Amino acid sequence: MVKKVLIIGAGLGGLSAALRLSKKGFEVTMLEKHNKAGGRLNQLKKKGFTFDLAPTFFSMTYEFKELADSCGIDIPFEFIELDPLYEVNFAGDKKFYRIYKDLNKLSYEFDKIEPGFKERMERYLLSASALFNDVEHTIIKKNFVSIMDFILQMTKVPVRHLPKLYRTLWQELGRYFNSYEVKVIFSLIAFFLGTTPFNTPAIYSILSYTEIQHDGYYNVRGGMYKIVEGLLRELEKDHVHIHYNREIIDYKKSGEKISCLIDNKGEEWDADIYVINSDAAWFRNKIFKRRSYSDEKLLRKKWTLAPFTMYLGIKGTIEKLYHHSYFLRNNFRDYSVKIFRNRIGLDEPYYYVNAVSRLNPESAPEGCESIFILCPVPDLRFKPDWTDRQQVADIIKDDLSQRTDYDIRGNLITETIYDPGDWEKMFNLYKGSGLGLAHNIRQIGGFRPSNKDEEYNNVFYVGSSTVPGTGLPMAVISSKLVMERITNEFSFV
């Protein structure tokens, strides 16, 4: 009887899959190349400061509840709801737009620049919610056996939503709103998918619905890494062992199955089922050397923007800084379109700031702030050289100082910078792309790398570059989908 499962990668996708499988009685072992679990959902500690490495908030909390319920456990961490959700500032403007879930409060922020804002937003969200409800179970949370199966499923989506597939998110917003600021702010969700609103299909307006009405945004009491610590506690109870600093670099096959995976120390690991949490396209290219995922093919795929991240420990309190803030400028279209291909400099960057210590004061020594900054930048295909990283970091710090009236350089206790090259090395992210494959029409659903391997019938995939897509709730849904796949393929489950 098949019992042993080997999971490659201890990111959220891998950990969630491990929990589901171990609760079903499988003997689960995990291998992780990094020295800690969590993948991108990780943590950095320095000089008494603690930082969330990458994700700082998330939506669709009920996916974590589904995971816990289906495993018969309580959710092993505590959500903190963000309301207001975040703030947005445009260069040269003293105003910080505050984004509320409450539409009355929200319209108070925008009524002057967008008369009739509330009614316009209600109509926008109504349309987005109708789409969300029509695709949540039929498309997002579904396995596809083939591209035809996906296309067939798409034909069942009510035809009134069809234009949203062909319209861009920016065009969709333009149908409801006139104000530049409103359109820019509510198109920022495109960057959560790692792309721009000018090439993201309008179907992703569903993210505005999940952000404002459906569920909102959440952080976690004690920091985002509590999610990982909670899952690790549960896995320990089930005797799931994780081996760190073990990177899979090769494999052996036997007929249509993998017989073992080989790590960087030359050790061979055999199992009945292999679940790959490493990027699904990268793994097929690098390890399986699959022609359909050749270097040329990967280069031509659409990848999400790479992260340039900074972790600052700062003396004092930056009064003007909210817990989550976006700092934008007034050349949104030009910048968004050019930044991907490194056709615009980083001397006037757009960036996001999370004041970690606002929600979780224990993340900084008393009287200090833990600050995380994320600036989306071109991936290594377009900007391979990051010798200018300190210069970029200084530009961002000075801009933030000026907008918040706080001397950041003068109060800096610690600074860590990760450029796309660091991100690539840490977690095997293709060319440093932060969110993996983009979500354009040709890379979603049945067109995304499948969670079942094309050649080896005992290999499955979980995580952001397989179905359904990127982000924390999607990684959890992905673990549910891979569990279903395994259940369908093997009658013993």
- Residue ranges that bind ligand FAD, judged by CB under 6 A: 8-14, 31-34, 39-41, 54-58, 247-248, 277-278, 307, 309, 374, 427-428, 434-435, 463-464, 470-472, 475
Taking the alpha carbons of 372, 370, 463, 271 in that order, is the dihedral positive or negative? positive
Our CB check for ligand FAD shows the closer of 177 and 372 to be 372
Helix intervals (H) in 136-162? 147-155
Q: How many residues can be counted in the chain? A: 493
Q: What is the C-alpha separation between 399 and 373, in angstroms, rounded? A: 12
Cα angle, residue 88 at apex, residues 52 and 201 outer, rounded to 5°? 85
CB atoms < 10 A from the CB of 47, how many? Answer: 10
Pairing state between β 241-243 and 27-31: parallel
Report yes or no: 98 and 338 within 8 Å, Cβ to Cβ.
no
Smallest separation (angstroms) from ligand FAD to the CB of 248: 4
Smallest separation (angstroms) from ligand FAD to the CB of 164: 22
Our CB check for ligand FAD shows the closer of 55 and 313 to be 55
Our CB check for ligand FAD shows the closer of 110 and 298 to be 298
Our CB check for ligand FAD shows the closer of 32 and 379 to be 32
Our CB check for ligand FAD shows the closer of 161 and 243 to be 243
Our CB check for ligand FAD shows the closer of 117 and 430 to be 430
Q: What is the C-alpha separation between 6 and 389, in angstroms, rounded? A: 38
Q: What is the C-alpha separation between 335 and 349, in angstroms, rounded? A: 9
> Radius of gyration over alpha carbons of the chain, in Å?
22
Give, as one character, the DSSP assignment of residue 38. B
Smallest separation (angstroms) from ligand FAD to the CB of 69: 20
| CA dist 48 → 309, 313, 414, 453 (Å) | 19, 9, 10, 44
Smallest separation (angstroms) from ligand FAD to the CB of 112: 30
Cα angle, residue 208 at apex, residues 204 and 213 outer, rounded to 5°? 135
Smallest separation (angstroms) from ligand FAD to the CB of 174: 27
Smallest separation (angstroms) from ligand FAD to the CB of 115: 33
Our CB check for ligand FAD shows the closer of 89 and 464 to be 464
Our CB check for ligand FAD shows the closer of 120 and 439 to be 439
Our CB check for ligand FAD shows the closer of 207 and 321 to be 207
Helix intervals (H) in 310-407? 332-339, 356-359, 389-404
Smallest separation (angstroms) from ligand FAD to the CB of 190: 14
Across the strands, what pairs with 252?
260
Smallest separation (angstroms) from ligand FAD to the CB of 189: 11
Our CB check for ligand FAD shows the closer of 173 and 280 to be 280
Smallest separation (angstroms) from ligand FAD to the CB of 490: 23
Our CB check for ligand FAD shows the closer of 230 and 434 to be 434
Our CB check for ligand FAD shows the closer of 30 and 128 to be 30
Pairing state between β 4-8 and 27-31: parallel
Smallest separation (angstroms) from ligand FAD to the CB of 6: 10
Q: What is the C-alpha separation between 248 and 250, in angstroms, rounded? A: 6
- Helix (H) or strand (E) segment spanning residue 421: helix 420-427
Number of C-alpha atoms within 13 angstroms, CB side, residue 474?
21
Is residue 100 packed enough to be buried (19+ CB in 10 Å), middle (13-18) or exposed (0-12)? middle
Smallest separation (angstroms) from ligand FAD to the CB of 211: 11
| Angle between the N-to-C axes of helices 12-23 and 225-237, in degrees from 0 to 180, rounded to the nearest 10 | 30
| CA dist 282 → 12, 141, 387 (Å) | 18, 23, 26
Q: What is the C-alpha separation between 58 and 197, in angstroms, rounded? A: 20
Q: What is the C-alpha separation between 158 and 138, in angstroms, rounded? A: 11
Smallest separation (angstroms) from ligand FAD to the CB of 374: 5
